[in-house]
Chains A and B, each alone.
Chain A
């Protein structure tokens, strides 16, 4: 599990985003428990969960539109030492953000905003990154770029990633393992490759979905 990319795919309303939100304790799970590093985090409040090393890049990017790129990053970093230490790493990962560092978040293009959302989640050096639809509303070329960045993050920094995607094709290509969620229940599991070649998956999520 550690260092893996896990993709969670499913149709609209399957409960993918809800699952990610629940892992972050917003809202809290009503039943069952959530384990992270063998520690029960079900009842912790959102900020405690985030501080224990899980980062969440929520759906729709949700960057702070009136704040500059640097300010967005600094909020993600939470303290000054972390910011000063990590900002160069972020800028090598996303050179585009360096060019735009004094620009207001809201005035950037969708792809740049998504990069910023990723960067903001990464700057606190999480062990686990929860990504909610990083390809949402982006042009195909930009989607490729974003997924390339995700792979890089995973390979160079060994950060585990839980990826929620509509874009099943890209997600499964990237992922080591995949889960298919239907109405809140996991119906299929397998490696990314297995799922990609599974005829049911092909029919439901890939063909025509591309």
Chain B
């Protein structure tokens, strides 16, 4: 009897794998199989059947292996699920330990032996995404408003700093609050018309908003420089000390002030600490907000808007503050980005960026702060790490996403910590 059952299951698995192979064949027969090539005087066709056969075989065995491991068909309790559950069961002490290790690594990173310019650059990039993820976490994770145009606020922050610096010669530190303010203002501008919308409809409108901002930046040539972008954006200074090899007459530079040898690494490390500090502040802010009435109102709004109304929460204000505060942090991150790059153009603010930031929040586990960190490190860090693979890098990105969704369908950290404890 059991023998028969096993036989049956195996047949099912085999069938499933065959179907997958068939789908793969249909997909690859034209994509991989034939290819147009330039021949002298005409366009020729080259066939690569070996590619098709290889991918079909790979799909067949890959699927078979996958089904075997996950028990997807037999429902005999997934192997991966078990692993994932064990990870979730990590207690409070382990969580604190992880946090401490992450924070210590982040602070000490530039001093570690393997840290060269490249590592610190990647770390800075990851931290930028962490900060953006934390900002978006307010809107998506806490308030439950699906925002597909978050990059618009990032762009507003970048451009407000770049333009203020370009036209009025203001420094990074003066512009930083303005960048946040402008972005928050745009958050409210977006927030007003979409107050009544929820779910999919909200997503479409925010997507459109993101594109509108990008297209305006692209086409307002006289003001924003259009596709040429803005270059020569000033770098941030360390308490008024700039990072230049030869400081202008009468001023001190970082290395002359501390009388150390000039190194271009100083600025890289300074930028790293700057974004680390900004990200920390964002994190503290969001953690604190979550425990305030407004934070709880956001979460209540995410759970049930009608119930929120019936216990006297003003949904208009609640949503607008979520949009404004989320946008503000994107604005800060944006002006950091502009300052680090020294050059910005609308190219940097495409929909893909929004999608990546959203992916970080969703994969990290909606509303989880540490989840955002891990997801950023995995998604951004790993794809940067595999940069040598060039265009296959995106395959890694996709594979990582799929892997996370199989292991942890609710995001890496799906546990929600309560915000009130009674002091008894």
Contact = CB atoms under 8 A, between A and B. Distances in A.
B300 interface: yes
A75 B418 contact: no
Interface stretch (B1-9, B167-175, B310-318): B310-318
A57 B303 CA distance: 16
Contacts of A70: 418, 420-422
Nearest to A123: B311
Contacts of B297: 75
B307 A47 contact: no
Contact of B312 (A47, A58, A62, A67): A47
A71 B418 contact: yes
B91 interface: no
Contacts of B306: 26, 58, 62
B411 to A, nearest CB: 13
B299 interface: yes
A16 interface: no
B149 to A, nearest CB: 26
B311 A55 contact: yes
Interface residues of A, number: 32
B416 interface: yes
B198 to A, nearest CB: 15
Which residue of B296, B312, B314 has the most chain A CB atoms within 10 A of its CB atom? B312
B293 interface: yes
Contacts of A29: none
Contacts of A124: 311-312
Interface string A54-65: 011110001111
A40 interface: no
B303 A58 contact: no
B309 interface: yes
Contacts of B296: 67, 71, 74-75
Given A62-B304, A66-B303, A66-B416, A24 B309 contact: yes
Contact of A64 (B299, B315, B420): B299
Nearest to B297: A75
Contacts of A56: 310-311
Contacts of B421: 70, 102
Interface in A58-92: 58, 62-68, 70-71, 74-76, 78-80, 87
Contacts of A47: 309, 312-315
B419 interface: yes
Nearest to A126: B312
A61 B411 CA distance: 29
Interface in A119-133: 120-121, 124
A62 B315 CA distance: 16
A64 B300 contact: yes
Contacts of B416: 66
Interface string A164-183: 00000000000000000000
Contacts of A55: 311
A51 interface: yes
Contacts of A24: 309-310
Interface in A11-69: 24, 26, 45-47, 50-51, 55-58, 62-68
Contacts of A68: 418, 420
Nearest to B416: A66
Given A70-B422, A75-B296, A63 B312 contact: no
A67 B303 contact: yes
A55 B313 CA distance: 12
A136 interface: no
Contacts of B293: 74-75, 78-80
Which residue of A45, A47, A62, A102 has the most chain B CB atoms within 10 A of its CB atom? A47
A46 B310 contact: yes
B162 to A, nearest CB: 40
Contacts of A64: 299-300, 303-304, 307
Given A79-B293, A102-B418, A67 B299 contact: yes
Contacts of B419: 71
B307 A26 contact: no
Contacts of B304: 62, 64
A58 B420 contact: no
Nearest to A102: B418
A62 B310 contact: yes
Contacts of B308: 75
Given A64-B299, A78-B293, A50 B420 contact: no
Interface in B373-424: 416, 418-422
Contacts of A120: 311
A174 to B, nearest CB: 22
Interface of B: 293, 296-297, 299-300, 303-304, 306-315, 416, 418-422
Give 3 closest A-B pairs by Cβ, nearest first: A50-B312, A62-B307, A64-B303
Given A87-B422, A124-B311, 15 more contacts: A50-B309, A51-B312, A64-B299, A67-B303, A67-B418, A70-B418, A70-B420, A71-B299, A75-B293, A75-B297, A75-B300, A75-B308, A75-B313, A78-B311, A80-B293
23 contacts: A24-B309, A26-B309, A46-B310, A46-B312, A47-B309, A47-B312, A47-B315, A62-B307, A66-B416, A67-B296, A67-B300, A71-B296, A71-B418, A71-B419, A74-B293, A74-B420, A75-B313, A76-B311, A78-B312, A87-B422, A102-B418, A102-B421, A124-B311
